[in-house]
Chains A and B, each alone.
Chain A
Amino acid sequence: MPVTLIGQSVVNILLLSGVLTIVALGFSIVWGVMNIINLVHGAFIMVGAYVTYWLFVLAGVDPFLSIPISMAVLFAIGYVLQRSVINLVMRAPLLVTFLLTFGLEIIVINLALFFWKSDLRAVTTSYSGSSLSLFPDASGNGIEVPYVKLAVFVVAMVLTLLTHLVMTRTRMGRAIRATGMDKDAAQLTGVKIAQIYAVTFAIGAALAGAAGALIATSQSIQPGFGGSYTLRAFVIVVLGGLGSIPAVILGALVFAAAEVLTGLWQPGLIQAVTFGLLVIVLVVRPSGIAGKAFYQ
C-alpha cells in the first residue's frame, strides 16, 4: 500500500499543479508587465467557469470544446475593462490599482450572484468520474488517474506552451515583453503601450477564462469561488518569482506539493504550510525561487 500511496500522491501533485499553473499564469503576466496585482483575476476565473457551464447546459457543448469560447469572452471583457477603467490608473500608486481591482471583483461577483444565484453548479459529463487505474493489485486497488483531471492537466500545459510561444515568437509578444522591461524605451521604439496594456490584460483574462473552464469540469462552482484562487495565484507567483512562465510552473509545482503532502500528513495545517512557505520565500529570497525583475 505505501507504494500506491506515494504513487497516488505524485499523481495528485502533478494534476493539481497543472490547474494551478493555468490559474496563476495570467495573474503573473499582468503583474509582471503592467505592475498590477489584479484582484479581479478570481472573478474572471469564475466567469470563465460559468461560460462553460451555460454552454454545457444550454447548448450541450463539451466543456473542453468551450475553452476557446470562454477565452474569447474573457479576452473581450479584459480588453474593454482595461481600456475603459484600468487604463485610468496605469501610472497611479499600487494602492489605487489594488482598490480598483478589488472593487471590480466585488461588482463582478455580485452581478453573478444577481443573475445566477448562489446555487452550486457543476459540469457533469458522461465521462466525469471515470479513471485510469495504474498498477492495480489483486483487489483492483491501483493509482487512480481520473481522465477528466488528466485532460485538464494536458490542456493546461498546452495552453501554457502556447502562451510561451506567443510571448517569445510573435511581434505582439515581443512588444509586450519590451513594455514590461521598460515602457518608456518601448514607446520610443514605436510600441503603442496603451494598446499593449489592453492586450496584456486581455490575455491575462483569457487565461483566467481557460482556468475557469477547466476548474468547472472537476469541482462545483458558485459566484464566490474565485477569491481563494486569486490568493493562490498570488502565492504561486511569489513562490516561483515574477518574470517568466517556467517560474509560474515551478511555483505551482511547489505549491501543489506543499498542499498535497501536508494534506496527507496533517490536513488541518494545509494553509499554515502553504502560506508559511510564502513568508519564508519573501524573507529568504524576495524575488522568488526563479524570479527576475521583468517579464522575459
Chain B
Amino acid sequence: MRHFVVRPLAALAVLSLVLAACGSAAESTAPTVAPGGASPAPGATSAEPCTITFGAAVSITGKTAKEGGYVKDGYELFKEEINKAGGFKVGAQQCMIDIKYYDDTSDPDTSAQLVEKLVTEDKVNLLLGPYGTNPTFSASAIAEKYEIPMIEGGGAGLKIFDRGYKYIFGTLPAAPNYLRSVLDLVIQTDPSAKNVAILAQNDGFALEVAKGAADYAAEKGLNVVYNEQYPVDTQDVSSLITAVKSQNPDIILGAGHAADSILIMKGIKDQKVNAKAYAFSVGPTSPDFRTTLGTDADYVLGIGPWTEAMKFQGGDVFGTAQNFADMMRAKYGADTYPNVPYQSASAAAALYAYQKAIEAAGSIDPKAVRDALANLDLQSFYGQIKFLDSGIIVKPQGVVQLQPDGNTYTVYPADAANGQFLYPAPAWDAR
C-alpha cells in the first residue's frame, strides 16, 4: 500500500509553500476606529471636530509579541490621556488623535507591506514605528518613500539610521551602546572582573548590541572569552551554556529579546554557571522576567533608557516618569505592570514628540512636521527628547538590578540610582 503514504519530499515542498504563504499573510487586527476615518484637513477652520490619524504596524503575534504589546500599550495610554486633555493643538484648532494598528507578526516584510497599506489605503496622516530593529528597518523605508515621518520607540539598531533617511526618528538609544553602561558599572565596582561571555540572538538588533559590547569590552581591556550567536526561534540553549561554562566568565551578557533571556537564565541555573554578574539587553525590565524566573531572577542586571525611578519631568500629559508608570498601572492593572517597561515609555515619548512638533509646525503637513521634529529639543517624562541628524535620540542607558526583596532598582548612573548595586551575584549553591 505504498501509494497511501505521503512522500516526505512532496510534503516538505508543500510545507515550505504553506510556511512561505504564512510569512506574508497580513493578519490584521481589527482597527480601533471605523475605516475611512481620515481626518478633515486640520488647521483650516475650527468649525468641525478634526482627528489626526496615526498608523502603526506592531507585533501583536510572533516572536516579539510581548514587546510589541508594551509599545502598543504606551501608544494607547498616550492617546487616551491626550484626548482627555483636548488633543493636539494644530494652529488654532484642537484635534483628537487616533491610531490605526495592524499586526506585523514580528516579520520585517509584513511590517513594510502593512505600512504601505496604512499610507496608500488607509491614508493615515503620520506614522508610528513597529517593535524591533528589523521590522523598523524595512518599515522606515516605506515612510521614506512616501515622505511621511515615522517616529519609533521600538528599534535601536544603528542600521535603521545610517542610510541618510530624513523621515525616520527613534526614541531609543543606539543598540551598540546598550550594554556599555553595564560594563562600566561592573569594572568600576570590581576591577578584577576580566572575562566576558556574550550570547547573542542572530537578529539585526542583537548583533549590534553584541558587537558594541564586545568592542567596548576590548577597549576597556577585558577579555571576551565567548561570543556566539544562536538562531532566532531557539528553544534549547543547553549546549551554548555548556560552552560558556567551560570558559569561566566573570560577566555574562545576553543580547536578545525577553523569551531567550529567560531561556538563557534557566540554562545558567540548570548547569550552575557561576558568574559575578549577569546582564541582558532586553528582558529584565519586562515584568514577565520576574514572574517566570522567580528568585532565579535575583541579581540580574537589565538596562533601560528609562525607569520609573528616574527623575525626569516635562510638560507632557504625564508630567513625571513616576506618574507615567502609575497611569500605566491604573489603565492596565498593577499585575500586568509591576514594573513598567521602557518600551512603553519610549513609545509614548514618540507621540509626545509628534505633539510638540505639530504644535511648532502649526499643521500636520508631513514635510513641515518632519522639519519641526528635526529641531525639537524638550524635556519630558522620558527625559530629554532631541534627535541627531540621523534621526536617533541622544540618550544614555541606565542599569537596573532585580534584587532579592522582589523589587527592581536603578543602580546606574549614580545620580539616578535608587538602590545599592549588589555584587558579586552569589554562587547558585550558596543561594
Contact = CB atoms under 8 A, between A and B. Distances in A.
A187 interface: no
Given A120-B259, A128-B294, A220-B259, A9 B242 contact: yes
Given A102-B22, A122-B262, A242-B5, A144 B271 contact: yes
B173 to A, nearest CB: 24
Interface in B43-83: 60-63, 65-66, 68-69
A270 B230 contact: yes
Interface in A101-128: 102, 106, 109-110, 113, 117-122, 124, 128
A8 B271 contact: yes
B246 A1 contact: yes
Interface string A16-45: 100000000000000110010101000000
Contact of B235 (A140, A146, A229): A229
Contacts of A149: 270
Given A224-B65, A286-B7, A294-B1, A124 B429 contact: no
Contact of A12 (B66, B242, B429): B242
Nearest to A133: B272
Task: Tell me the dominant secondary structure on chain B's binding face.
Answer: helix
A146 B233 contact: no
B6 A31 contact: yes
Interface in B385-409: none
Interface in A238-296: 238, 242, 259-264, 266-268, 270-271, 278, 282, 286, 288, 293-294
A120 B66 contact: yes
A183 B5 CA distance: 12
A267 B429 contact: no
Interface stretch (A61-69, A79-87, A91-99, A163-171): A91-99
Interface in B237-293: 237-240, 242-243, 245-246, 258-259, 262-263, 266, 269-272, 288, 291-293
B8 A288 contact: yes
A228 interface: yes
Contact of A122 (B8, B10, B22, B292): B292
A195 interface: no
B202 interface: yes
A14 B240 CA distance: 16
Given A222-B66, A260-B239, A131 B291 contact: no
A293 B63 CA distance: 37
Contacts of B85: none
A278 B9 CA distance: 10
Nearest to A184: B1
A234 interface: yes
A122 B127 CA distance: 35
B330 interface: no
Nearest to A105: B22
Given A270-B230, A286-B7, A219 B258 contact: no
A146 B230 contact: no
Nearest to B9: A282
A263 B270 CA distance: 17
Contacts of A9: 239, 242
Contacts of B271: 8, 131, 144, 146
Contact of A94 (B6, B294, B428, B429): B6
Interface stretch (B11-19, B159-167, B376-384): B11-19
A98 B202 CA distance: 30
B228 interface: yes
B424 to A, nearest CB: 16
A5 interface: yes
Contacts of B266: 129, 218-219
A89 to B, nearest CB: 14
Contact of B65 (A1, A95, A118, A183): A118
A110 B105 CA distance: 12
Contacts of B65: 113, 118, 222-224
Interface of A: 1, 4-5, 8-9, 12, 15-16, 31-32, 35, 37, 39, 94-95, 98-99, 102, 106, 109-110, 113, 117-122, 124, 128-129, 131, 133, 140-141, 144, 146, 149, 181-183, 218-220, 222-225, 227-229, 232, 234, 238, 242, 259-264, 266-268, 270-271, 278, 282, 286, 288, 293-294
Given A5-B242, A110-B27, 10 more contacts: A35-B6, A94-B14, A102-B18, A146-B271, A182-B1, A220-B292, A264-B240, A264-B242, A268-B231, A293-B1
29 contacts: A4-B246, A8-B245, A39-B18, A94-B14, A95-B14, A98-B18, A118-B68, A119-B288, A121-B288, A124-B294, A140-B272, A181-B1, A219-B263, A220-B259, A228-B233, A229-B235, A232-B235, A234-B12, A242-B5, A242-B8, A260-B238, A267-B229, A268-B231, A270-B234, A271-B231, A278-B12, A282-B8, A293-B4, A294-B1
The 8 closest A-B CB pairs, nearest first, are A263-B239, A118-B65, A122-B292, A120-B288, A146-B270, A12-B238, A268-B229, A129-B269
